[in-house]
Amino acid sequence: MRRVNKGERARLSLTLNGRKVSGEAEPRMLLSDFLRHVLGATGTHVGCEHGVCGCCTVLIDSTAARACLTLAVQAEGRAITTVEALAGPDGALNALQQAFQNNHALQCGFCTPGILMSFTDLLARNLCPTEAEVVDVLGGHLCRCTGYAGIVAAVLEAARGKSEKSP
């Protein structure tokens, strides 16, 4: 991690959704703010800013992490993946997003980017999660709209689709 002194701004370079990007950050700037306000990646939402709600979840080097608990300077040289990376270049939803739509797993959608990133991480590591494993990951997220049942159904549907496709 780069050392940045008080009052100084650091020029950070990282990979965002497969693209090399750079921008300036103050020492205490959060990764969530850096993504949204410096890099313009506003798909990552910010709710509590205390690591509780899960809205800001992104992948850092393929592992789900709270962007509001990560300093921007800690992302120097890392690969960050945000919700913007999930749909295809033509805007087509990926399998997980489509399953969310199929199962009415979102209403206002505020919590959805973070939840999608946590389950992108889970499904990359575990092709066939049990309902208990899905519920366990969902325990790290707060949704004020859907009541969670649709989200669990969506993730299980996406997992079934993935495991059917795998050899």
Contact call for residue 48 and ligand FES (CB under 6 A): yes
- Using CB under 6 A, which of 52, 87, 93, 152 touches ligand FES? 52
Q: Which residue has the tokens 């990133």?
A: 117
Decide: 148 and 119 in contact? Cβ < 8 Å: no
What is the smallest separation between the CB atom of 72 and ligand FES, expressed in angstroms? 14
For residue 115, give Cα distances in angstroms to 7, 19, 25, 32, 123.
Answer: 35, 23, 26, 15, 12
- Using CB under 6 A, which of 107, 133, 161, 162 touches ligand FES? 107
Q: Determine the interface stretch with ligand FES among 71-79, 85-93, 102-110, 152-160 (rule: CB under 6 A).
A: 102-110
Q: How many residues bind ligand FES (CB under 6 A)?
A: 23
Contact call for residue 150 and ligand FES (CB under 6 A): no
Residues within window 28-47 making contact with ligand FES, judged by CB under 6 A: 46-47
Contact call for residue 12 and ligand FES (CB under 6 A): no
- Residue ranges that bind ligand FES, judged by CB under 6 A: 46-49, 51-56, 66, 68, 106-112, 143-146
